[in-house]
Amino acid sequence: MNNLKTANTFVFNTEFDTNYLFSLYGDDYNYLQEVFNTVLSDYQSLTDNIEYSYSSGNLTALRSSVHKIKPVFGFVGLTVVQEHCQQFEKICTTVNSPDQLAGDFETLKNKIFQSKQLIEEEKKKLELFNSNCS
Amino acid sequence: MSLSCIIVEDLQVAANYLRNCCEKSGQVEVRGHFVNVTDALSFLNSNTVDLIFLDVEMPGANGFELLDQIAFSPKVILTTAKSEYAYNAFQYNVSDYLMKPFTYQRFMEALQKIQPSKETISTNSASDHIYIKTDGKLIRLNNDAILFIESMGDYVKFVTVDGKKFITHNTIKNLEEKVSKQYFLKVHRSYIVNLHKIDDMRENLLFIKGNEIPVSKANKADVFRRLNIV
């Protein structure tokens, strides 16, 4: 987290909380690129766990798997999605089976899917930015 | 480097970030990263560390189960995405609680909470007595006169050699840092005992003048270290 760029010129997609990212990483875009890489490497297994717990009707595992992915969105600056996960966790505590939150689950699933695309796009932009800076 | 630590965390991005914070601080040496309690426990069975950065919800056993099973008492900083563990954190004498993701500044604040306690201990370790406030007055208790101290929720009970019991508003956690380390040792989250008064020890129990005191797994190694076993 020490390689500072000379100018803070990287422009994030507006879905990303730029100030929040800056509070975590400063303007170390190389490290940020590593973060995006790590997140994308783990993304599939994290989302698989969510899908599996929902389809197997295990509410505790579903809440736990959403809880697990929640900070990932914070680490990449998608704070709105992080908050959405938090809300979903709360909803999980108010129902008796995953069937009762089918609508909420569909919304969450879409957000998680869209987030992956956003992270992938942003990672590509970061790679280009960092290669131009080096 | 002044502190050795391990990271117990199954979320890779969080573990990497934590490792970076440790390296950046120059104060913490990361001796290992484990993604579950079993692997961490295996390491801690043959190694000691000053500090554990511990996630709570992991596959298999949770973080608190690790604390139940280790034979020494390292400092612990919980790294979690949930605030519901506050009560457990208090019970396990956790030093701080980092909500993921946390800033480097917040990380450093957590480290600061670990360092000063050593000074507090040394400052008080030479005293041969304490004063406790009970029934509206301050009573002096010489260390030699105290058998043990027992937690009673928000209160503690001092049991003395002459069979008296003094109840005062305090906690074991607070007292652990204030009583003389030459005399006293926390052996369980609810008990501090006067080491000079122990009659015998069997399995996970200490006996002091007919009183049976439980010894927790986490504190057992400390007890053995402090007893004059020949």
Q: Assess whether B7 and B105 both reside in one domain.
A: yes
Surface of B (8-27) touching A: CB under 8 A: 10-14, 16-17, 20, 24
- Overall number of domains in chain B: 2
Q: Is residue B20 part of a domain?
A: yes
Q: Contact A77/A36 with Cβ under 8 angstroms?
A: no
3-state secondary structure of B153: coil
- pLDDT tens-place string over residues B65-119: 998 888 777 889 999 866 677 667 766 778 888 999 999 999 999 998 886 443 3
Give me B107's structure tokens. 């990380």
Q: At residue A25, does pLDDT exceed 70?
A: yes
> Is there a contact between B101 and A74 if contact means CB atoms under 8 Å apart?
yes
As a whole number of Å, the CA-based R_g of chain B is: 19
Amino acid found at A64 = S
What is the pLDDT averaged over residues A73-91?
96
**What band does B137 get if pLDDT is binned at 50, 70 and 90?**
confident
Q: Assess whether B142 and B88 both reside in one domain.
A: no
Give the number of other CB atoms < 10 A from CB of residue A70: 22
How far is residue B205's CA from residue B209's CA, in Å, rounded to a whole number?
13
How high is the ipTM of this complex?
Answer: 0.90
Domain ranges of chain A: 18-133
Chain B CB contacts of A35 below 8 Å: 13, 16-17
Chain A CB contacts of B13 below 8 Å: 35, 38-39, 42, 72, 75
**What band does B122 get if pLDDT is binned at 50, 70 and 90?**
very low
Please name the member of B12, B24, B82 whose beta carbon is closest to the beta carbon of A42. B12
As a whole number of Å, the CA-based R_g of chain A is: 16
Q: Contact B22/B69 with Cβ under 8 angstroms?
A: no
Pick the CATH number of A18-133 from 3.90.25, 1.20.120, 1.10.1740, 3.80.10: 1.20.120
| Mean per-residue pLDDT of chain B | 86
> Is there a contact between A24 and B103 if contact means CB atoms under 8 Å apart?
yes
How far is residue B129's CA from residue B141's CA, in Å, rounded to a whole number?
6
What pLDDT, on the 0 to 100 scale, is given for residue B223? 85
Candidate ranges B130-139, B151-160, B183-192; pick with highest mean pLDDT? B183-192
